[in-house]
């Protein structure tokens, strides 16, 4: 079994960029755009425990900010187990991470992110 621990260096800039775009949109009150960037950061980082958990933490904070009980209650279990599932390589790839989708449902990875994964991830 392959254990995931660290986000590959080549993916870090993409992950950090999505979080920076999230912060910028959030600070400017563009909440739908902000959430979109959190979802993209989730897709990029979901296979790595720290990054996966961090995005769920930000999603939980977002849920509190918009006073959305469904999002808050949906993020708590994701925050508690997401990192563990990443560590053991059992995440539903492409899942956007919000409480609006089942936590174990794989989803289509956006084309630009898939192309990035194809360029960066080493062949197995």
Task: Give residue-wise pLDDT tens across range 61-109.
Answer: 999 999 999 999 999 999 998 888 888 878 889 999 999 999 889 999 9
Contacts of 2 (CB under 8 A, 6+ apart): 89
Is 124 part of any domain? Answer: no
- Tens digits of residue pLDDT in 23-74: 999 999 999 999 999 999 999 999 999 999 999 999 999 999 999 999 999 9
Per-residue confidence (pLDDT) for residue 2, from 0 to 100: 60
What is the pTM (predicted TM-score) of this model?
0.91
- Assess whether pLDDT exceeds 70 at residue 121: no
Is 44 part of any domain? Answer: yes
How far apart are the two ends of the chain, measured CA to CA in Å? 13
Per-residue confidence (pLDDT) for residue 3, from 0 to 100: 65
Is 66 part of any domain? Answer: yes
Is 118 part of any domain? Answer: no
The rounded distance, in Å, linking the Cα atoms of 10 and 67 is 36
Is 55 part of any domain? Answer: yes
Per-residue confidence (pLDDT) for residue 124, from 0 to 100: 39
Is 16 part of any domain? Answer: yes
Q: Are the beta carbons of 49 and 90 closer than 8 angstroms?
A: no
The rounded distance, in Å, linking the Cα atoms of 77 and 98 is 11
As for how many domains the chain has, the answer is 1
- Assess whether pLDDT exceeds 60 at residue 123: no
DSSP3 helix / strand / coil % (the chain, rounded to 5): 65, 0, 35
Q: Which domain holds residue 94?
A: 9-113
The full DSSP string for 16-68 is: HHHHHHHHHHHHTT-HHHHHHHHHHHHHHHTTSHHHHHHHHHHHHHHHHHTT-
């Amino acid at each position: 079994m392959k254990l995931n621990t660290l986000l590959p260096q080549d993916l870090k800039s993409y992950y950090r960029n999505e979080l920076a775009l999230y912060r910028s949109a959030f600070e400017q009150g563009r909440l739908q755009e902000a959430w979109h960037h959190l979802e993209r950061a989730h897709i990029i980082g979901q296979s790595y425990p720290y990054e996966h958990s961090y995005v769920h933490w930000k999603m939980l904070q977002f849920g509190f900010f918009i006073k959305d009980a469904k999002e808050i209650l949906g993020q708590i279990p994701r925050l508690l187990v997401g990192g563990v599932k990443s560590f053991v390589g059992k995440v539903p790839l492409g899942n956007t991470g919000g409480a609006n989708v089942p936590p174990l449902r794989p989803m289509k990875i956006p084309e630009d992110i898939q192309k990035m994964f194809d360029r960066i991830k080493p062949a197995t």
